[in-house]
Amino acid sequence: MTAMSSPRDKYYAVWLIFFILGLGTLLPWNFFMTATMYFTSRLKDPPNELAANRTANGTLDDGGDTRNVLESKFNNMMALCSMVPMLIFTCLNSFIHQRIPQKLRILGSLVVILVVFLLTALLVKVDVAPLPFFTLTMIKIILINSFGAILQGSLFGLAGILPASYTTPIMSGQGLAGAFAALSMICALASGSALRDSAFGYFITACFVILTAIIAYLTLPRMEFFRYYMESNGSRSSTDDENRMDLLKQENAEKRPVVSLTEDDGKAGVSVLKIFRKIWVMALSVCFVFTITLGTFPAVTVEVKSTVANGGSWETYFIPVSCFLLFNVMDWAGRSLTAVCMWPGKDSRWLPALVVLRMLFVPLFMLCNVQPRYYLPVVFSHDAWYIAFMVLFSFSNGYLASLCMCFGPKKVSQHEAETAGAVMAFFLSLGLALGAAFSFPFRAII
């Protein structure tokens, strides 16, 4: 098969399906994080019990902090229960994706996440004691991120088989998910809706998005464009019959490459280490992009205070708009731009150089009006500085990360592309985990 004989993606249907799948990977989790205030409100002690605790202790703990242990530890536990499973299961997916059918990995993950969110929506209407509610929430966070990691890794691996531009809709869909969640948070804040009502709306919306993603994935094998690249890749699994892509004979499935850590006989094996040697620049670049981003946003950026005197409502909306909404909109714009512009190229030294230059955003945000602060001076006090930094910070995050994810699978041979996509997804998750870890010292030195 030649490039000239490849069919067209009619009406950009495959591109749109990958966009929906990208949206489905992150919108549920973004809504889950947006509802943090709802979760912590469910962990409060009943009034009588709270009064009894105060009487027994004779004073308030933590210098007047009226939160109980479950409330105060929720965000830390949430980060732990999300990042650790995500990293572990993304790593596992890099090795098991050839042994577990693609349909089972993607469709099974979507179904599990859908069930978790249906349960979460139902629990909004049910009164549960704080400790069992906390335990159930942490279990749900572990499940969402474990299966979300498998889903994300599988999608990037699948997109790696297609032309490079088909990683863009996944990244763009993920970017839109963050913008949509941030906008929903602002609308809920403006409407004055009760926390439970807002949270229920988040979870039901997430369920509809996941259901749409399931339907979109089931229609994917019917697309001639998609079937062409799956067949030209020569990658067949036991799900080919179910996906109606079994134009090759059964014996060809036996020749499908098996992923191993180091072995590669050139015919029957695909070495992860050999692939990493080919894509290490892209892999480390995407890891570094997200390390800088998560190390700064939101741990540092959310603590910046407006310097507008008597700001009124601007003070209320400053962080929701200038931090969360602006970041997600510009991040989405950066991810989407790679659909029409892919500069610098995959072999250019400018790409890793631009990635490293993003380190400058760490001190720039630290020198904004972050409060409280103990060591560093405020250099960029005006709100305009913070907004300008945020525009460049978020746009470069989306654009450079999307370029890396697009180029990674294209630096290896066709039969290695799916594994390369899964490896890239692992380094993306590694960057998220490292960023979360670095966020603590970044904030502490201010």
| Residues 99 and 194 occupy one common structural domain | yes
Task: Pick the closest to residue 274 from 412, 408, 137 (CA basis).
Answer: 412
pLDDT tens, position by position, 221-239? 999 999 888 887 754 444 4
| Residues 238 and 268 occupy one common structural domain | no
CATH at residue 36 = 1.20.1250.20
For 411-418, what is the mean pLDDT? 83
For 362-372, what is the mean pLDDT? 93
Q: Which one of 209, 240, 256 terminates a domain? A: 256
| Residues 201 and 273 occupy one common structural domain | no
pLDDT tens, position by position, 154-205? 898 888 888 878 888 998 898 898 888 888 888 877 877 787 888 888 899 8
| Residues 262 and 251 occupy one common structural domain | no
Q: Which one of 256, 278, 302 terminates a domain? A: 256
pLDDT for the residue 264: 53
402-427 as b/e: b if 16+ CB within 10 A: bbbbbbbbbbbeeebbbbbbbbbbbb
| Residues 339 and 376 occupy one common structural domain | yes
Residue 66's pLDDT band, with cuts at 50, 70 and 90, is: low
For 129-153, what is the mean pLDDT? 92
Phi-psi region of 310 (alpha: psi -120 to 50; beta: other; left: phi over 0): left
| Residues 252 and 262 occupy one common structural domain | no
pLDDT for the residue 116: 95
Q: Which one of 231, 256, 281 terminates a domain? A: 256
**Tally of CB atoms within 10 A around 436:** 20
| Residues 239 and 159 occupy one common structural domain | yes
**Mean pLDDT over each residue of the chain, to the nearest integer:** 82
Question: DSSP secondary-structure letter at 59?
Answer: S
**C-alpha atoms less than 13 angstroms from C-alpha of 396 in its C-beta half-sphere:** 23
CB 398 within 8 A of CB 334: yes
Residue labelled with tokens 């999307």: 402
| Residues 23 and 102 occupy one common structural domain | yes
| Residues 22 and 170 occupy one common structural domain | yes
Structural domains counted in the chain: 2
Question: DSSP secondary-structure letter at 222?
Answer: G
Host H or E run for residue 434: helix 417-444
| Residues 250 and 265 occupy one common structural domain | no
For 48-66, what is the mean pLDDT? 48
**pLDDT above 90 coverage of the chain, percent:** 34
pLDDT tens, position by position, 325-359? 899 899 999 988 988 888 888 888 999 999 999 99
CB 154 within 8 A of CB 237: no
In this predicted structure, the answer to whether residue 49 has a pLDDT above a threshold of 60 is no
pLDDT for the residue 16: 95
Question: What is the domain range of residue 162?
Answer: 1-256
| Residues 205 and 295 occupy one common structural domain | no
> At residue 15, what is the residue type?
W
| Residues 392 and 434 occupy one common structural domain | yes
CATH at residue 374 = 1.20.1250
Distance from C-alpha of 174 to C-alpha of 144, rounded to nearest angstrom: 15
